[in-house]
Structure 1
Amino acid sequence: MRDNGLGLAFLLAFLGALVGQAFAGRAEFNSQLAVDGLAQVGFWQYVSSSDFAVDVTENWQSEYLQFFLYITATVWLLQRGSPESKKMGTAGTEGDKDQRVGPHAGPDSPSWARATGWRQGLFSRSLGLVMGGIFVLSWLAQSITGVAAYNEQRLRDLQAPVDWSQYVVSADFWARTLQNWQSEFLAIASMAVLSIYLRQRGSPESKPVGTSHTATGIEGG
C-alpha cells in the first residue's frame, strides 16, 4: 500500500465520486420525471441508463483528451520557468542517448527500449497512443449513449428521434463536449503558468521552494 498509495487513493476517490454521482444523478433524474408526470426509476435502473452513461463518459473523454494533448504537446512546446515544461532548448523527441534506447539502454531498461525497429518506435509512443485511444473510445461511447439519452427526451416531448450521424453534429452533443474541453484547456494553462511563480513544498508538481522563477523543467522531490 505504501508503494502504491497514490494510485490506490485516487482509485478509491474515483469510486466514491462515481457512487455519489449515481445517487445525486438519480435524484435529479427522478425530479425531472416527476415534472413530466412520469414514473420514478430505481437506483440500478438509473445506473444502467443512457442518461447516467452519457454523464460519465463525457467527463472521461475530456480528461483523457487533456492527458493526450499534454503528453504530446509538451514534446514540442515549452514554457519558461514551468516545472511542467522540459528545459528550454530541448524541444523535440530527443536523441537515443538522452532517452536511453537501443545501444544506450541500461540493464534495468524495459526490453522494448533495448529493441530496435517497430517495437522501440511503438513503445516510445505508447503512453500517448493509449491515452489517445481511450479518449477516442470514450468519445465514441459518449456519442452512442448521448444519442440514446437525447432520443429518450425527444420521445417524451413527442418529437421524432434522430440517428447517430445527426446527433454528433447537433448543438446538444457539442454543448456537452465543449463545456468539458474548455475547462480542461484552462486547467492545463493554469497549471503550466501558475507553477512558474507559486510553490507547493514537497510536491513533484512544484519546483523546490527556493528555485528561481525562471528555472525550467525542475521539479521537487
Structure 2
Amino acid sequence: MRRFLRENALSLAFGLGFLLVLCGQAVAGHADYTQQQLTSGGEDPGFWTYVTSSSFGVDVAENWQSEYLQFFLYTIATVWLLQRGSPESKPLGEAGRESDQEQAVGRYARDDSPPAAAAGGLRTRVYSRSLGLVVGLVFLASWTAQTVAGWAAFNAEQLADRQDSVSWAGYLAEPDFWNRTLQNWQSELLAVGSFAVLAVFLRERGSPESKPVGAPHDATADTG
C-alpha cells in the first residue's frame, strides 16, 4: 500500500483535491443559489435538488470544458510550435511529428514499448494521436454538457421572468452562453501562454515543469 501511494501520489492528491473542491463548490453554490431564491421570493430548493439542477451543472461543465480545451490545444500546439528557453517546448528545430525511429514506433519499437506502438498501420497511427483525441473528445463532451445545462438554466430564468424560452440552437446564439464560454477560454489561454514564458526565466527546484536552477535562460526543452 505504501508503495502504491508513493508511486501514485500525484494523481491521488489531485483526485482527492478535486473531490473536496467539488463538494465545497456544491455547498457554497447551494448557499448562494438559496440566497438568490429567497431574495426574489422563492424557496430553498434543498441541497440535492440544487446539485442535480442545471444551475450547478452548467457551473461545473463550463470549467471542465475550458480546462480540457487548454490541454487539447497545448498538446497539439506543442507538436508544431516552439518557445526558445521554455521547458514546455521541444528543442528548437524539432517541430513536427518526428520520425518513427525517434518515436520508437513500428519496426523501431522497443521490447518494452506498448503493443499498439509496435503494431504498425492504423492501430499505431491512432495510438500515436490518442492523447489529443481523448482530450479533445472530453472537451467536446463537457462543452456539449455545458450547452445543455446552460440552455436549461437560461430557460428557467426566462420562464421566471415571464419571457419566452429559446431552443438549444437559439441558446448558442445568446450572449449568456458566449459570456460564460469566452471568460473561461481567455483565462486558460493567458495561463498557458504566460507559464510558457515565465518558465524561461524563473525556476522551481526539483520540478519537471521547470528547468534546472542553473540552466541558462535560452536552454530549451530542458527540465529539472
Say yes or no: TM over 0.5.
yes
How big is the shift at 1:64?
Answer: 0.2
SS in 2 for 1:41: coil
Matched, 1:178 2:182: yes
| Distance in 2 (alpha carbons) for counterparts of 1:59 and 1:155 | 26
Q: What is the aligned counterpart of 2:158 among 134, 147, 154?
A: 154
Kindly provide the amino acid, as one letter, of the partner of residue 97 in structure 2. Answer: T
1:198 equivalent in structure 2? 202
**TM-align CA RMSD:** 0.5
How big is the shift at 1:191?
Answer: 0.8
2:98 equivalent in structure 1? 94
TM-score (norm. length: structure 2): 0.98
How big is the shift at 1:41?
Answer: 1.2
Runs of 4+ in 1 over 3 A off after TM superposition: none
Q: What is the aligned counterpart of 1:216 among 195, 198, 220?
A: 220
SS in 2 for 1:26: helix
How big is the shift at 1:169?
Answer: 1.3
Kindly provide the amino acid, as one letter, of the partner of residue 37 in structure 1. Answer: G
SS in 2 for 1:19: helix
SS in 2 for 1:2: helix
2:83 equivalent in structure 1? 79
| Distance in 1 (alpha carbons) for counterparts of 2:13 and 2:164 | 45
Unaligned runs of 5+ in 1: none
How big is the shift at 1:125?
Answer: 0.1
| Distance in 2 (alpha carbons) for counterparts of 1:19 and 1:211 | 41
| Distance in 1 (alpha carbons) for counterparts of 2:213 and 2:127 | 35
How big is the shift at 1:197?
Answer: 0.1
Unaligned runs of 5+ in 2: none
How big is the shift at 1:15?
Answer: 0.2
SS in 2 for 1:108: coil
Cα deviations by residue, 1:82-140 (Å, 9 ceiling, x for unpaired): 00000000000000010000111100000000011100000000000000000000000
- Which runs of structure 2 are paired with 1:1-221 in the superposition (5 Å)? 1-220=5-224
| Distance in 1 (alpha carbons) for counterparts of 2:120 and 2:208 | 32
| Distance in 1 (alpha carbons) for counterparts of 2:81 and 2:129 | 17
Kindly provide the amino acid, as one letter, of the partner of residue 48 in structure 2. Answer: W
TM-score (norm. length: structure 1): 0.99
How big is the shift at 1:36?
Answer: 1.1
Identity %: 59
